[in-house]
Amino acid sequence: MTKQLNVDVAIIGAGTGGMYALREVRRSKQSFVLIDSGPLGTTCARVGCMPSKVALHIAEYWNAQKEFERYGISGAEHLRLDGAVAWQALREQRDRFAGGAANNAIKAAGEHLLMGRARFLEPTLLEVESESGIQKVKAKSVIIAAGSRPVMPGFLQPFAEHCITTDEFFEMQELPQSIGILGLGAIGLEMGLALARLGVEVHGADMAETVGGISDPEVSKVALAEFAKEMQLYLGAPAELAKADTGVLLKAGGKQVQVDKVLVALGRRPNTDQLNLAEAGFELDERGNPLFNPNTLQVGDHPVFIVGDSNAYRPLMHEAADEGAMAGYNSAQETPLAFKRKTSLAIAFTNPDVISVGARFDELNQDDILIGTASSQANGRSRVISDREGVLRLYANKHSGKLLGASMVGVRAEHVAQLLALAIERGETAHSLLQLAFYHPVVEEIVQAAAQDIARKIPEASGLPFGLVLADA
């Protein structure tokens, strides 16, 4: 006979969203079960943001030798890179990150961790298949945090032996001599540049006319010029693969090149298609994803909440953490609360970094905004660090000067992104932002320059110099 477990909350998935949901569920003293099909450890720690940053860090170390001669440092010709050793060191760090995340899940859930694959029978009735058999779970509320998996289109199947996904990328035992990248979003771009800086010949293709999701044409122009110095770019045309004597042919935009491997970085798809949602009575969109409220995370009018990569709304680690907390809190409420979403924030750690904060260029009415522009070449700290080009474009309401969003490619733009996210979240204007002290020389001075560019176009009623306010009487 199939056993049935009755709990207040069932959480499907022990990734970032699931673990933050669990924190709130435990805080509200609800009974729970945490269900995961394995392996434990978040997507970020195992195959995403953390190992990718280790790869970029290793690549920066190796690539730094190109600057040696400029500063009188000799002997670089004697340096050697053992790619296999470098990748093994990466995996060791990755395993520490992933192991820590897995241990946290085990410790937090304890005896309430159920390893198995879940599917819905009804909106609050689950069937879990585990090594010990089938178990039913009846819950008052369910949180879907089932994560995602890499997209692998069917047309690539004939070339599967030459293709690797982002989930398999870090398992390479040695680096290829050449590689094609399908998809130049943040991960594809980051990994393409990391490999290029480690001496791999890289050819990147994307249907878009730009890379890293950039929508601002001026930022895109600078980014493409910089990244084209390190890898071949094939943009604005569909890519296909063809057989070759060795490796595989990558064809795009009327060009073709033979490569040893192809990294498929075409995004990730939610694992919700494995949960039997339609049959269990959930309303789905045209892509088969459940309809939900992004402020409550509630699916339809059911006591079910969906978070993180599973809802594909903002598939980023910090968003999954917030959504998990929102869903975990709402799982204990008679009526779910609607939470304000934080300022959107995206960073590609590409050196020069690519950032997007708040409203994107293509989301704004150009007749209603002012754009403040500042160049990395005019920023002292950026020029000390690198001779790479960079530009910040800051968007503000043309009447009030209220900051709306920003796009940038530039050295250490990750820090600029955090500053601007804070400013936009707090409702700053170009004038009020200039009241902040900007130390010299720091990369963040580029924000000061862009804000001044906007402030010059909006006269300050007081007539005082930019950034200065009178002392209290």
| Binding residue ranges for NAD(+) | 183-190, 267
Q: How far apart are CA 409 and CA 374, in angstroms?
A: 11
- The binding site for FAD comprises 53, 309
Q: Residue 158, Cα to own-chain centre: how many angstroms?
A: 29
> Which regions of 167-266 does DSSP assign to beta strands (E)?
178-182, 201-206, 232-235, 239-243, 248-252, 255-259, 261-264
Tell me if residue 318 is catalytic. no
List, in sequence order, the alpha helices (H) in 276-435: 317-330, 380-385, 413-425, 430-433
Q: How many CB atoms lie within 10 A of CB 85?
A: 10
Q: How far apart are CA 62 and CA 77, in angstroms?
A: 12
Q: How far apart are CA 186 and CA 167, in angstroms?
A: 15
β-bridge partners, 405: 358, 395
What is the three-class DSSP state of 351? Answer: coil
Place of tokens 């879940």: 118
Residues in the chain: 473
Q: How far apart are CA 50 and CA 44, in angstroms?
A: 6
Token pair of 219, please?
A: 């930022």
Write down the catalytic residue from 78, 162, 203, 440: 440
- The binding site comprises 53, 183-190, 267, 309
Q: How far apart are CA 348 and CA 53, in angstroms?
A: 10
Please report, as a single letter, which amino acid is at residue 270: P
Beta carbons within 8 Å of 78's beta carbon, 6+ residues apart: none
Q: For the sheet containing 403-410, what is the strand order?
A: 345-348, 353-358, 403-410, 391-397, 369-375
Token pair of 93, please?
A: 């760090």
Burial class (CB in 10 A: 0-12, 13-18, 19+), 442: middle
Active site residues: 440
